[in-house]
Amino acid sequence: MKVLGIESSCDETACAIVEDGKTILSNVVATQIPFHQIYKGVVPEIASRKHAEWILPVVRQALAEANLKLDEVDAIAATNRPGLMGSLLVGLTFGKTLAWAANKPFLAVNHMMGHMYAAHLANDISYPYIGLLVSGGHSIIAKVNGFDDFEILGTTIDDSVGEAFDKVSKFYDLGYPGGVIIDKLSQKGDARAFSFPLPKLDKGDHEFDVSFSGLKTAVIHQAQMFLNEGYENTVENIAASFQETACKTLVTRLLRAVKATGLTTVVAGGGVAANSRLRAMLAEHTEIKCIFPPLKLCGDNGAMIAGVAYHLLNRGDRSPLSTTACARIPQFKRGLANLEAFGRR
């Protein structure tokens, strides 16, 4: 069963064709980074206009690389939430129109479900496991019982980790995208230079939650206060110390979830899952098995959308052509995931 998946939730125009939810036949991603670098962040209006310009050639390229005609595809899928509304609408509208014109089933897919599924495209993974979903918009720790069955254990109470990386990068005029730049810059610095604060969320409902607003404020406005004796206040040292603290924040809460559930398999997803220090820090904990997607599947891509859609299709799900986009998903609830948010129909 071959599914064509479209992803346009932010600033990547992406389309992929995946067979049986596993085999990637093509995976095309057109990045808009050069158009947003001057602004040090994504400009929604530019993003949606570029999606409208690129969506047709990207889909055509995906079909060509898979050596398929549209008639040979079994279903069409597209991201419909969460993300930038204008960007979402371009991919979603194109996907629905394509499905209608080709008389194919259509499936709307939650972007976050896609990120959590990305590692499955390159690995055989059994449920349940602890999921670590870290991106520009989300930081989630969950017990994952199935491709769309999440028990949310913790999330961010303020900024996402990816947002913190981007804002620190913007303040120090390092460039965009912030996460990639800080990761590279950190390799020239010393993570011991600054003792930036870790969040103190240790009790009650916040046992597995993370927070990055305090860290971001410390790094941007109070760096000198946390400089350790014998070290220089350089941007390389700031980047390394900030990255170390951000990753430690995630790993500390993640290990709590592992201990509480007894699950020792951890699967990561999202753009921040490409961070080299996060990967190395988790590898240091031999008591867990941590599975990451390939780097090319950490960022936004159509393959993860097509992969999820295959399982929805196989279960008998279909999305009506009246399905619309939603920029945000409802607040996550502890325990069972908000089913509407994650798209179980």
Least confident of 102-106, 197-201, 268-272: 197-201
Instruction: State yes or no: pLDDT of 343 exceeds 60.
Output: no
Residue 201: pLDDT band with limits 50, 70, 90 = confident
pLDDT at position 339: 44
pLDDT at position 330: 64
Instruction: State yes or no: pLDDT of 211 exceeds 70.
Output: yes
* Per-residue pLDDT tens digits for 279-337: 999 999 999 999 999 999 999 999 999 999 999 999 999 999 999 999 987 655 555 45
pLDDT at position 203: 62
- For the chain, give the secondary structure using H, E and C: CEEEEEECCCCEEEEEEEECCCEEEEEEEEECHHHHHHHCCCCHHHHHHHHHHHHHHHHHHHHHHCCCCHHHCCEEEEEEECCCHHHHHHHHHHHHHHHHHHCCCEEEEEHHHHHHHHHHHCCCCCCCEEEEEECCCCEEEEEEEECCEEEEEEEECCCCHHHHHHHHHHHCCCCCCHHHHHHHHHCCCCCCCECCCCCCCCCHHHCCCECCHHHHHHHHHCHHHHECCCCCCCHHHHHHHHHHHHHHHHHHHHHHHHHHHCCCEEEEECHHHHCHHHHHHHHCCCCCEEECCCHHHCCCCHHHHHHHHHHHHHHCCCCCCCCCCCCCCCCCCCEECCHHHHCCC
* Per-residue pLDDT tens digits for 30-80: 999 999 999 988 999 999 999 999 999 999 999 999 999 999 999 999 999
Residue 344: pLDDT band with limits 50, 70, 90 = very low
This prediction's pTM: 0.93
